[in-house]
Amino acid sequence: MTTPNHKNAAEDCDICEIHQTHPAALELARLHEADDETSLRLAEVFKVLGDRTRIKLLSLLAHKEELCVCDIAEALGMGQSAISHQLRVLRGARLVKYRKEGKEAFYSLDDDHVVTLMQQGLDHVLHG
């Protein structure tokens, strides 16, 4: 027996209660499905972004054209070696790039897509 405040199991179920496909919708979905390699590469980018320190680091770089490792370490209150490790991970995912000037290493975002990715994620988090 259900009460007004409780749904029965069928109403609370998040799967179809009958098996009925919709061929036109299925065909359209298959046309836009990402291939295996693309899906894997995108999943790897999101794995890299799944770290709070790396998000903070990218956020710093999104608001400044470039920063040296010393400045990034100071801003985040971390050691240069820890920052260097995070930057290597980000560089491996093609999210940041660097240039050497004498004995200093300066990092910047790899391209405008990274800014867009960060902004879209932030918009989603702050929405509602």
* Domain residue limits, the chain: 55-128
Give 55: exposed, middle or buried? Use CB within 10 Å, 0-12, 13-18, 19+: middle
Assign 6 a pLDDT band (cuts: 50, 70, 90). low
**pTM, two decimal places:** 0.78
pLDDT at 54 exceeding the cut of 70: yes
pLDDT at 10 exceeding the cut of 60: no
98: closest CA among 108, 88, 89? 108
Query: Taking a C-beta distance cutoff of 8 angstroms, is the pair 87, 107 a contact?
Result: yes
- Tell me the per-residue pLDDT of 19-33, one tens digit each, with 9 for 90 and over: 999 999 999 988 889
CATH architecture for the domain at 55-128: Orthogonal Bundle (1.10)
